């Protein structure tokens, strides 16, 4: 096996030429990567959150507690598998499997590295790639929600059903924001192929704005910063991670859609969540962080940083940093209320994304304009902005009524309120007990004085 080759970006023509054993090896590698990433991801999350909360975390089973997750998985696999009497047995069984399969399938179009030589075969470090690979990732993330919805419906219970309904509304809200964020990547890269998007971030992009040549950096996380931020927030919502874990919401819905699951089925749902977290971190790395390419400071003094098998190290390092951000959010932010969560998706992320796509489209179209057209468009835009500022209705905020005024404005016959000073009077039983004890205490006091 040749461990060093000149850096070469794979193209769509490089796929479909591998022998069957090499394709099978790539599939096994992607599956093993998903399983190992889950085992290490659970351990990593528990250790990092433990460090944030000033406690050791898992440190007993194996070195540094590395085998604790494996022990927990074996324990869940051998626990009693309980099937609810009112459950739909077929759907109840296949629901966790759908979530796991969709999460792992998305890794098939993620590039792990450039072209390498494996036993004499020149092949890309990627299972496959198509001209609409990013749409395949979106389809897998959308289909994975069906496992949660069906799992909640098939349980035959109220709380799992509510958790499944929440997940469907969550998918509709944040799938739109995620798709619009990727539109900016399509417009800039000019392709939907994941390997093509990584290749488009290899060098900086030059933009012509008003006669000025602007050199933009290669990573789309910098060039398309609003899309990167919105996409990452949407991935947190798509993977049901805190603070957006509303379908699970154990403080409100017991354990959400997983309430009636146990044993290996419960472990599969947990596996799908962590695999989805790692998969979306890998997708974010591919779309916005240059994929398997090394950061610019490394390539300046090491020409072979993007050659051979070294790019896998940079790829896994970027994925690990994004997984740490997932864990950081879980250990820092409290869970949102459901109305706040939906309002944030529809009234904040979606309008900002639409305006950003419109601005980006205008900037790209300006490159082909003449100087007179650019000046006219700038003047019209400034005039519209000034007119909107002048005509924007200014609302005077009325002073907020005091608490006593709010109480006095309540209609007659309203539900009684507790005392406003929060001093609850003692109950009649307490008064009676105190009155009965006072004569006895007085008599005891007089006897002691006489003695």
> Residue 345 to residues 196, 233, 376, 444: CA-CA distances in angstroms?
30, 9, 36, 70
Query: What pLDDT is stored for residue 325 in this prediction?
Result: 93
Cis peptide before 89 (omega within 30 of 0): no
Name which of 26-30, 152-156, 427-431 the model is least confident about.
427-431
Decide if pLDDT at 420 tops 50.
yes
Alpha carbons 228 and 221: distance in angstroms, whole number:
5
pTM value?
A: 0.78
> Residue 272 to residues 192, 242, 243: CA-CA distances in angstroms?
25, 15, 18
Query: What pLDDT is stored for residue 422 in this prediction?
Result: 55
Query: What pLDDT is stored for residue 5 in this prediction?
Result: 41
Alpha carbons 392 and 389: distance in angstroms, whole number:
5
Decide if pLDDT at 214 tops 50.
no
Q: Which residue has the higher pLDDT, 221 or 208?
A: 221
């Amino acid at each position: 096996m040749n461990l060093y080759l000149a850096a070469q970006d794979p193209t769509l023509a490089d796929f479909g030429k591998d022998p069957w054993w090499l394709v099978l090896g790539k599939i096994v590698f992607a599956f093993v990567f998903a399983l190992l990433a889950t085992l290490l991801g659970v351990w990593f999350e528990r250790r990092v959150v433990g460090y944030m909360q000033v406690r050791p975390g898992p440190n007993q089973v194996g070195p540094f507690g590395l085998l604790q997750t494996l022990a927990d998985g074996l324990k869940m696999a051998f626990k009693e598998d309980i099937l609810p009497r009112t459950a739909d047995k077929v759907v109840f069984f296949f629901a966790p499997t759908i979530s796991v399969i969709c999460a792992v399938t998305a890794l098939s179009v993620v590039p792990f590295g450039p072209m390498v030589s494996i036993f004499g075969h020149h092949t890309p470090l990627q299972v496959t790639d198509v001209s609409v690979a990013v749409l395949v990732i979106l389809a897998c993330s959308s289909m994975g929600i069906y496992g949660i919805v069906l799992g909640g419906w098939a349980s035959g219970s109220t709380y799992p059903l509510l958790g499944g309904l929440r997940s469907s509304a969550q998918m509709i809200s944040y799938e739109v924001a995620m798709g619009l964020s990727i539109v900016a990547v399509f417009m800039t890269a000019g392709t939907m192929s994941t390997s093509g998007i990584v290749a488009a971030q290899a060098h900086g992009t030059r933009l012509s704005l008003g006669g000025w040549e602007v050199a933009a950096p290669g990573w789309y996380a910098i060039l398309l910063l609003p899309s990167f931020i919105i996409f990452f927030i949407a991935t947190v919502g798509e993977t049901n991670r805190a603070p957006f874990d509303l379908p699970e919401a154990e403080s409100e819905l017991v354990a959400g859609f997983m309430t009636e699951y146990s044993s290996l089925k419960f472990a599969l749902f947990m596996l799908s969540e962590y695999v989805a977290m790692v998969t979306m971190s890998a997708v974010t790395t591919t779309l916005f962080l240059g994929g398997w390419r090394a950061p610019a400071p490394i390539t300046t003094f090491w020409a072979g940083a993007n050659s051979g098998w070294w790019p896998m190290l940079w790829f896994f390092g970027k994925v690990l940093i994004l997984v740490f951000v997932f864990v950081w959010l879980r250990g820092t932010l409290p869970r949102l209320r459901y109305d706040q969560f939906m309002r944030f998706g529809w009234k904040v992320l979606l309008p900002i994304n639409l305006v950003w796509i419109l601005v980006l489209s205008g900037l790209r179209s300006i490159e082909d304009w003449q100087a007179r057209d650019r000046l006219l468009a700038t003047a019209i835009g400034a005039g519209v902005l000034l007119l909107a500022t002048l005509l924007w209705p200014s609302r005077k905020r009325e002073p907020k009524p005091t608490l006593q005024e709010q109480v006095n404005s309540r209609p007659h016959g309203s539900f009684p309120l507790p005392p406003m000073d929060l001093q609850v009077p003692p109950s009649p039983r307490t008064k009676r007990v105190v009155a009965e004890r006072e004569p006895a205490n007085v008599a005891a006091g007089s006897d002691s004085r006489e003695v």
